[in-house]
Amino acid sequence: MIGVICREDQGAVVEEFFELFKTPWETYVRGRQYSIVLTTTDEVPQTNAKLVVSFGARPKSFDACNGLAVFPQCKQSPIKYQDLWLPIYGGLALVDCAERGMTIVRGAQGNVGVRIPLASGAALIRLGYDLFDEVRCLISTGQPIGHAFVPTLDLHIELLRSWILAEEIAFVEIPPVPAEHRFMVCLTHDIDFVGIRNHKFDHTMWGFLYRSTIGAFRRLLSGRIDFGKFLKTVKAALSLPMVLLGWMKDFWSPFEWYLEVEEGLATTYFLIPFKGRAGENVPGKNGWRRAAKYDVRNLSEWTRTIQKRGGEIGVHGIDAWHSMEKGRLELNRIEEVAGLTTKGIRMHWLLQNDKTQAVLEAAGYTYDASAGYNETVGYRNGTTQVFRPLQAKKLLELPTHIQDGALFYPGRLDLNEAEARDICNNLIDNSKSLGGVLTLIWHDRSHGPERFWGEFYVNLLKTLKDSGAYFGSAGGTVDWFRKRREVRFTQSENGDSMRARLGYEGEEIQPPLKVRMHFPGLSPQRRGADEEIPSKVVDLAWNGKCSDSAELEAASQFLEIGPSVKAAPQL
């Protein structure tokens, strides 16, 4: 069990942090037994904990008596974790411990974290930044584009986990990944257009004709497309009159192609609720282009087909980001057409302000999927995990990581396919390591001319399928994380020792959670013997109701699972 001492204004942030790092914790209670104590205040209590971690960019009253010198820095700079540099968005200080301790975190200007032994035999780790201030910034403000590729919040969790394991402390956690899988994948499509036939003689049609002729020729000369794709896009341009007259198939029609290439995979389609509404308070001079030309009421046959095949429908919001009343009208319109099973939204153009999540929650939405970048790919909030924004009570945020337009559009990353593949593979590798969910946006017409991003998408799907991922719809993924959040740890006494008790009272969790127990190794010095005991990690699949796993015997050393578990040992 971790005991946490924090400032009064950090309470909600601490709670959210430990929904992401799902391990036993509580607000510190004097006299209670803890393995680890975390503090962001001036207080370091007398405790029998094996590890005390003190965060803060200002000197504390106990620093000097422990041989520590803390030097606040005026300039923000990153810290280094393994081969990655993590940005620090709040205060930062250098920490010097003379010859007493060991450097565990380095910064660009010097040591930022040190470990020193205490007289009690425990270890004190002193960090020159405040973990919970960093978490607040990440889930509220988000990261600038320059740090988009760094899963900063998840790496802060990795740092804390590594310090616990280094002190040879046994602990249990529930990683953000289902049992038998390495991570989750959420495939989504923003339906901004439903065919080019709706765009007779408007800016969209003229833009298509330019990009599919002069633009395509320029891309051919630059090597961005091959001659075959050049011929296909010119052919599409020549066929446009026949398409507009209804004599040929509309090459921008999205649903049939996606249903074919994603067969058997849960996918979410976000539909714009009202035709011809650009929305209010839209930034930029071209805000009028945000209006859709299709009427969602004409898509009822497609919405039924999508849902029959395991897909899901969500709202592609227009004004919901700033108006509860209009957000509710948008939700009602899509419910009327599709009969929603989950009430999720992604804002058109990803518009939001600092009140958006509270407004969406008040309008009746249960999740938002707008937390991403338009200009690049990566981790806007520094995480692969579904999280709860601080201004919401129940609404959860599904982060978005890979967007087709951000990869390939001129004026954004403007990558060729090889470059885009490398970036996507890096994000996939991060997901394999960190778990969580990797969320993709592939737009309605991206598979067709003049974009031709369909082949890249098919190959990306194959890579994801081969990566041990679990595919879930947006609503299904959020629901899985919501159930994980409902699991609670409490502490139970067993003689002189304390054990974590795992409890859950909700519906069955599918796919099952992965309950992970860390049994650290013991060095000969700590064990007082010649041989070393190797570390061990035990994973237990648990659906919240029962488990027949043989690993329960190992788990019983320091973990109790609620009374609904089948064949649970006497604990």
370 and 385 together in one domain: yes
Nearest to 373 by CA among 420, 418, 407, 414: 407
The token pair that represents 260 in the structure block: 């074919």
Radius of gyration of the chain, Cα coordinates, nearest whole angstrom: 26
181 Cβ partners below 8 Å, 6+ apart? 468, 469, 470, 511
pLDDT at 114: 93
CATH number assigned to the domain comprising residue 131: 3.40.50.880
Last-in-domain residue among 481, 510, 527: 481
Average the pLDDT over 181-199 and give the result: 95
166 and 240 together in one domain: no
For residue 46, tell me if it sits in a domain.
yes
Q: How many domains does the chain have?
A: 4
Contacts of range 479-484, beta carbons closer than 8 Å, 24 or more positions apart: 479/342, 480/178, 480/184, 480/509, 480/511, 481/176, 481/385, 481/386, 481/396, 481/437, 482/386, 482/396, 483/507, 483/509, 483/513, 483/544, 484/22, 484/174, 484/176, 484/509, 484/513
- The pTM (predicted TM-score) of the whole model is 0.92
Last-in-domain residue among 449, 481, 513: 481
Q: What are phi and psi of 191, to 5 degrees?
A: -95, 90
Position with higher pLDDT, 443 vs 553:
443
463 and 443 together in one domain: yes
187 and 215 together in one domain: no
Q: Looking at residue 145, what DSSP letter applies?
A: G
Tell me the pLDDT tens digit for each residue of 39-58: 999 988 888 899 999 999 99
pLDDT at 374: 95
For residue 567, tell me if it sits in a domain.
no
Average the pLDDT over 99-126 and give the result: 88
pLDDT at 533: 66
Position with higher pLDDT, 75 vs 393:
393
Contact 456, 202 (CB under 8 A): no
Nearest to 129 by CA among 79, 80, 85, 65: 79
Q: At what angle do helices 417-434 and 454-465 cross, to 10 degrees?
A: 30
Position with higher pLDDT, 442 vs 98:
442
For residue 287, tell me if it sits in a domain.
yes
190 and 105 together in one domain: no
Contact 150, 87 (CB under 8 A): yes
**Band of the pLDDT at 563, cuts 50, 70, 90?**
very low
Helix locations, 298-449, DSSP H: 300-308, 324-338, 356-363, 404-408, 417-434
462 and 352 together in one domain: yes
259 and 377 together in one domain: yes
417 and 548 together in one domain: no
Give the H/E segment covering residue 312. strand 312-317
Whether the predicted pLDDT of 522 surpasses 80: no
145 and 218 together in one domain: no
Provide the 10 A C-beta neighbour count for residue 525: 8
Tell me the pLDDT tens digit for each residue of 411-427: 899 999 999 999 999 99
pLDDT at 525: 55
The token pair that represents 146 in the structure block: 């320059």
For residue 571, tell me if it sits in a domain.
no
132 and 214 together in one domain: no
The token pair that represents 123 in the structure block: 């270890």
For residue 32, tell me if it sits in a domain.
yes
Distances in Å between the Cα of 361 and the Cα atoms of 343, 396, 474, 549 are 10, 9, 17, 39
325 and 456 together in one domain: yes
For residue 568, tell me if it sits in a domain.
no
What is the span of the domain harbouring residue 387? Answer: 183-195+252-481
564 Cβ partners below 8 Å, 6+ apart? 544, 545, 546
Contact 449, 251 (CB under 8 A): yes
- Residue 338's Cβ-count burial label (10 Å; 0-12, 13-18, 19+) is buried
Contact 519, 537 (CB under 8 A): yes
Whether the predicted pLDDT of 530 surpasses 70: no
256 and 392 together in one domain: yes
For residue 289, tell me if it sits in a domain.
yes
The token pair that represents 238 in the structure block: 């020549």
Last-in-domain residue among 481, 501, 524: 481
For residue 178, tell me if it sits in a domain.
no
140 Cβ partners below 8 Å, 6+ apart? 354, 389, 390
